[in-house]
Amino acid sequence: MDKQRAEARVVLAREPDTELSEKISAFLSAHGCAGARYTIDPDILGGIVIYIGDKIFDGSVRSRLENIKQSL
């Protein structure tokens, strides 16, 4: 998939406020995304997961907790 024309998939635990929406838009623009599809998934507990093509930017609380669990 061409990164310059990729549509991102953004997963959040809740609806983003204006400030977060602006930060997400800036991040996606910097990565050459043509647009984004937002999904609300309370299972991530908090934070954000962004999928752009074959790349995953995982800043979810669930992911952090799983990493801590594996290190114990």
In this predicted structure, the answer to whether residue 4 has a pLDDT above a threshold of 70 is no
Residue where the block lists tokens 């983003």: 16
Closest alpha carbon to 47 in 32, 62, 33, 27: 62
Confidence band (pLDDT; 50, 70, 90) for 3?
very low
Residue where the block lists tokens 């790349």: 55
Q: How far, in Å, CA of 50 to CA of 39, rounded?
A: 10
Report the pLDDT averaged over residues 7-19. 96
The token duo for 61 is: 């609380």
Domain ranges for the chain: 3-71
The model's pLDDT over 30-62, given as tens digits with 9 standing for 90+, comes to: 999 988 999 999 999 999 999 999 999 999 999
Phi, psi of 36 (to 5 degrees): -145, 150
> Is the pTM higher than 0.95?
no
